Chain A
């Protein structure tokens, strides 16, 4: 088991011309990247635009990626640079709004107007979160501990096995079963409301 073997196998496929493999990398890292960019810009819609630009830059630069560092580390650097450049260029040419900037209330409103979040999209995100949390609460304790240690604490299977005093194979199985249980609940939302919310968003 090599570190970053999963990403590297997808990266190699993209380098050989398989664009579908790049979709998988974007799906895996889009939330992390948006979260990262939001350190530089507070507006979620703007953060998404910058993350999108970072992914496109990464795709174009992928022939030069040799795997000396982990793919996410490389992507992280691209995203940081893209975010910094976006902040600099935005500061150089601020967008003018017909709102009185002297008023604190108006300034707050300007922030909301820049945010393209629709109420439906916000509701959907909240709904997904509450479904995932409810599904985690309903899990047997060993499955819940395994998935939380993995996703929240970022521990490896080996570390979780040591913490839970069980074989690595058991950890793998527990995490998979936890994901499956949550996924069953989540699938209903994705297959039902997500498409409609995306159209609106």
Chain B
């Protein structure tokens, strides 16, 4: 037998062989009867040196275990696939939960805000493209020259609300669509559309754009 191979076997027995070499040698060890017999004698030498009293040095246990294991079904494919499945399920579940919490938070914030105020969603650090710099509650008529700050939009200013909050929020939700499920996103958008018909209708339309609309929409816009 190859001396290098025997030297590797000796190192493997002592757990002092590199992992890659162990893989190759383990394959050969499980099939090569002569190599396995040598492996067995290495174990006997170790037991004899340790002078394990009462332990018989003939391999009766190994023979009997080998016979019983031989009649058992092989273990192939019982463990690895399950672990692989779990590997991608966990982050996916995390993203779904985060998206759900975000959607509920937005709806709750909108429900809590007093009528006539614009509720901006909390700025997310990761989404700098939107440049959300507005405070949590923004006065609708912030361009007033003087007077005390008010978070209630005066009736006169309501008609000229050029901020278009529902659109802005809708844009925000669309921009973050990658973090939410399609169903949650659709629910959110439809709730914007149904909850604020006045504000959605307050979007100023130019005459040019009004001409492009169908007739029934044009009459309602005017």
A: residues with CB less than 8 A from B are 1-10, 12-24, 26-35, 38, 42, 44, 47-48, 51-52, 55-56, 59-60, 62-66, 117, 121, 124-125, 128-129, 132-133, 136, 147-148, 150-152, 156-157, 172-173, 175-176, 179-180, 182-183, 186-187, 190, 194, 197-198, 201
A73 to chain B, nearest CB (A): 13
Check if B22 is an interface residue, CB within 8 A of chain A.
yes
| B59 / chain A contacts, CB cutoff of 8 Å | 27, 30
With A19-B70, A121-B58, A179-B42: A148-B49 Cβ-Cβ less than 8 Å:
yes
| B42 / chain A contacts, CB cutoff of 8 Å | 179, 183
With A20-B30, A129-B51: A30-B45 Cβ-Cβ less than 8 Å:
no
Is the Cβ of A9 less than 8 Å from the Cβ of B26?
Answer: yes
| B30 / chain A contacts, CB cutoff of 8 Å | 10, 13, 18-21, 23-24
Is the Cβ of A5 less than 8 Å from the Cβ of B75?
Answer: no
Is the Cβ of A201 less than 8 Å from the Cβ of B49?
Answer: no
| A198 / chain B contacts, CB cutoff of 8 Å | 58, 60, 63
Besides the contacts A9-B23, A56-B65, what 10 more A-B pairs have beta carbons closer than 8 Å? A5-B18, A6-B14, A23-B62, A28-B39, A32-B47, A121-B56, A132-B44, A179-B10, A186-B41, A201-B60
Which of B23, B54, B60, B75 lies in contact with A38, CB distance below 8 A?
B54
Check if B31 is an interface residue, CB within 8 A of chain A.
yes
Instruction: State how many residues of chain B have any CB contact under 8 Å with chain A.
Output: 62
Q: Which 3 interchain pairs have the tightest Cβ spacing? A: A17-B76, A20-B30, A17-B74
Is the Cβ of A132 less than 8 Å from the Cβ of B48?
Answer: yes
Mark interface residues in B56-96 (1 if CB within 8 Å of A CB, else 0): 11111111111011101011111110010000000000000
A5 to B18, CA, bound (A): 7
Check if B29 is an interface residue, CB within 8 A of chain A.
yes
Is the Cβ of A28 less than 8 Å from the Cβ of B76?
Answer: no
Write 11 A-B pairs (CB below 8 A) sorted by A numbering. A9-B19, A17-B75, A20-B29, A24-B26, A26-B61, A30-B61, A44-B56, A47-B54, A129-B48, A172-B16, A190-B37
A23 to B13, CA, bound (A): 14
Which of B36, B49, B55, B79 lies in contact with A151, CB distance below 8 A?
B49
A82 to B176, CA, bound (A): 56
Check if B7 is an interface residue, CB within 8 A of chain A.
yes
Check if B52 is an interface residue, CB within 8 A of chain A.
yes
A46 to chain B, nearest CB (A): 11
Check if B186 is an interface residue, CB within 8 A of chain A.
no
Check if B50 is an interface residue, CB within 8 A of chain A.
yes
Is the Cβ of B14 less than 8 Å from the Cβ of A175?
Answer: yes
| B66 / chain A contacts, CB cutoff of 8 Å | 23, 26
A197 to B59, CA, bound (A): 11
Is the Cβ of A19 less than 8 Å from the Cβ of B69?
Answer: yes
A7 to B139, CA, bound (A): 69
| B15 / chain A contacts, CB cutoff of 8 Å | 3-7
| B29 / chain A contacts, CB cutoff of 8 Å | 10, 20-21, 24
Residue of A nearest to B19 (CB): A5
| A66 / chain B contacts, CB cutoff of 8 Å | 79, 83
| A176 / chain B contacts, CB cutoff of 8 Å | 6-7, 10-11
Which of A15, A29, A132, A175 lies in contact with B75, CB distance below 8 A?
A15
Residue of A nearest to B10 (CB): A176
A65 to B65, CA, bound (A): 19
